[in-house]
Amino acid sequence: MQKQISVVLDKGHEFSFHVPDGAVLAHDAARAWLDQQFITFECEPLRASGKVLTADKILVVTQAAGAALFGDAKWAAEYVAAVSAALGKPMIRVDVPSMSITY
């Protein structure tokens, strides 16, 4: 089954990425990569409790990255590998304007 990740950003930017077959990033490695991006971009938790769910982390990292980083093939490939491994779903849509992730 083909795996794909779609990313919708503000200002009408939309990206679609095929998740390559083969070596899959381990779940722990995916979470570590997302954690590092969260820190690098100085993201803030979405919830008042301060709890950061994986989906929340993906949303705020996606928002912080913006169109420029999604145009960087190396970073985009790392993002695709991490999001695919963290969520484990074949079809993922990350929609920043609506702050939602659908499978």
Which residue has tokens 């795996």? 3
pLDDT for 89 equals 95
**Helix locations, 1-103, DSSP H:** 27-40, 54-70, 73-87
Residue 80's closest CA among 33, 45, 38? Answer: 33
47 SS3 class:
coil
Separation between Cα atoms, residue 42 and residue 28, nearest integer Å: 21
pLDDT digits (tens, 9 = 90+) for 34-92: 999 999 999 998 877 878 899 999 999 999 999 999 999 999 999 999 999 999 999 99
